[in-house]
Each structure stands twice: as C-alpha cells, then as structure tokens.
C-alpha cells in the first residue's frame, strides 16, 4: 500500500522547484480536498471545480486553512456535465487536471444508473474534450477497484477484470476506455488510478462513502 506521507515526500523536492497550475475536479470531496491541500502546501496554484452535490464547503475551507496558502486557490462552482463549466475551470492556464468529480456510491448507482452514466461518463468525456482544447499536459483521473468486478484473483492484475457488479463500476471502466481512446487518437496524456478505499486525515467523507464502508461495498 502506498502511503500519503511517502508520496508527499517524493513530490516535495520536485514541486518546490516548479510551480504548476492544477485543476482539481471534485475539490470539495474527500480525496479532492486532500489533494487541494497538499498541492497548495507545496506552493502550487490550484483551481477547484465542484457542484457540491456530495462534497462540502467545509472540506474546502479546511483544505485552504491547513495549507496556509488559500490565496493560490480559485474555485468554479459548476457541474462537469456542463461543458462550459469545464471550459471556465481550465481556461486560466491550467497545466494538469486531477479529475475526481464523480458520483461515487455503488448502492446509489444501482438505484439510478442513468444519473451515474450522465455524471460519470458524459462528465468525463467533457473533461477530456476540454483538456484537449486547452492542451493540458496530462489528465490524471480516479477510476476504481470496482472495475475488477467479480474477479476474485489476488493479487489483482490490471487486465484481468470480471463481470461488473454495479453501474458505478461500468462508468469507471468506460472512463478507462475513453481515456485510452483520447490518448491513442488525440495524443492527450491520461493516467487512471484504480483507487480502493482511500482514507486520509480527519476530513469528512461523504454520506456515500460512509454507507459504502458500513455496507462493505467495493468502490
Ligand atoms: N474514496 C475512495 O475510497 C474511492 C475509491 C475508488 C474510487 N474513488 C473515486 O475517487 C473520486 C473521489 O472520491 P471521493 O471519495 O473523494 O468522493 P466524494 O464524493 O467525497 O467526492 C466527489 C466530489 O465530486 C463532486 N461532484 C459530483 N458530481 C459532480 C458534478 N456533476 N460536477 C462537479 N462536481 C461533482 C462532489 O460534490 C464531491 O465533492 C471519485 O471519482 C470516486 O469514484 C474513490
């Protein structure tokens, strides 16, 4: 397991030398707010994009306060399903996109697959398309261990996935397929991270996340 302090220690010398502008989508969420805090702490410039559908203003407030560098943060309140919000968020010289905005509950996706498709799949294509338009250096995006589906092989092998167990998992796999396409056909550099139960610090996880832990669902 890779630990957050170890990653930070590797990044510190690199990022203290170079200042970049990062777009963190889902910045008011659990992972996005920690990324925002870490980048600001390293002297980076950050724009956040979030519509607060499952995220919290207090996560953002805490990230800015803990970093001590709130002046390097700007925020666009909007949805990734609206391409103009994506454009607004990437329009001011963004170098890298860390895409974490998504609906992230397995049980909720089983109840409303259409909404999950709209936000997680259409929203993702919007992000990729706008990243192309603005010649973003790289899009790093959150996919999920949920794409392994019912494949129980351990340790996990990236290409060995099973049958999907939720619409959420399908949307995350679609993200991986779209990213591969945008890289191969348009030359947009993309990296997907298949997160599994990420935990850090004392910030508030969303209700979705609390329910996922309680019910033992794979995310
Ligand atoms: N936390 C985990 O253990 C875990 C595991 C696997 C994958 N992931 C993925 O990592 C990412 C972040 O997860 P998290 O735990 O921080 O979730 P989270 O729910 O705390 O954060 C997601 C953020 O995205 C925002 N958002 C949702 N829909 C949006 C939209 N249409 N437009 C703009 N913003 C929108 C929410 O308001 C929220 O702030 C998600 O893509 C999730 O699927 C997380």
Q: Whose CA is nearest to atom 28 of ligand 1?
A: 102
- How would you class 155 by CB atoms within 10 Å of its CB: exposed for 0-12, middle for 13-18, buried for 19 or more? exposed
Which residues belong to the active site? 168
Please answer whether residues 98 and 24 qualify as being in contact, where contact means their C-beta atoms are separated by less than 8 angstroms. Answer: yes
Query: 126 falls in which pLDDT band (50, 70, 90)?
Result: very high
Q: How far is the CA of 146 from the centre of ligand 1 (A)?
A: 14
Q: Is 54 in the pocket of ligand 1 (CB under 6 A)?
A: yes
For position 183, what pLDDT does the model report?
Answer: 98
Cα dihedral 52, 140, 88, 54 in deg (nearest 10): -10
Ligand 1 centre and the CA of 79: distance in Å? Answer: 12
User: Does the beta carbon of 48 sit less than 6 angstroms from any atom of ligand 1?
Assistant: no
pTM beyond 0.85: yes
Cβ(123) – ligand 1 distance below 6 Å: yes
The domain spans of the chain are: 19-215
Task: Evaluate: CB of 50 within 6 angstroms of ligand 1.
Answer: yes
Q: Which fold has domain 19-215?
A: Rossmann fold (3.40.50)
Decide if pLDDT at 4 tops 80.
Answer: no
pLDDT of residue 202: 59
Q: What is the rounded distance in angstroms from the CA atom of residue 86 to the CA atom of residue 106?
A: 25
Percentage of the chain modeled with pLDDT above 90? 82
């Amino acid at each position: 397991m890779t630990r957050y302090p170890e990653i930070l220690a590797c990044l510190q010398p690199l990022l203290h030398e170079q200042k970049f502008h990062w777009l963190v989508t889902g910045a008011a969420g659990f992972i996005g707010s920690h990324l925002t805090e870490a980048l600001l702490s390293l002297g980076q410039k950050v724009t956040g994009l979030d519509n607060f559908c499952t995220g919290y203003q207090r996560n953002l407030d805490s990230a800015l306060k803990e970093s001590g560098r709130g002046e390097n943060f700007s925020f666009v309140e909007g949805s990734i399903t609206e391409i103009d919000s994506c454009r607004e968020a990437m329009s001011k010289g963004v170098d890298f996109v860390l895409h974490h905005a998504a609906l992230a509950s397995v049980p909720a996706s089983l109840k409303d697959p259409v909404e999950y498709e709209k936000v997680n799949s259409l929203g993702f294509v919007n992000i990729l398309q706008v990243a192309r338009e603005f010649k973003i250096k790289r899009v790093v995006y959150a996919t999920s261990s949920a794409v392994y589906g019912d494949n129980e092989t351990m340790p996990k092998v990236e290409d060995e996935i099973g049958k999907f167990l939720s619409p959420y998992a399908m949307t995350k796999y679609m993200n991986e397929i779209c990213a591969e396409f945008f890289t191969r056909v348009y030359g947009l550099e993309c990296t997907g991270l298949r997160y599994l139960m990420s935990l850090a610090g004392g910030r508030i996880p969303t209700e979705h996340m609390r329910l996922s832990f309680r019910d033992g669902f794979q995310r």
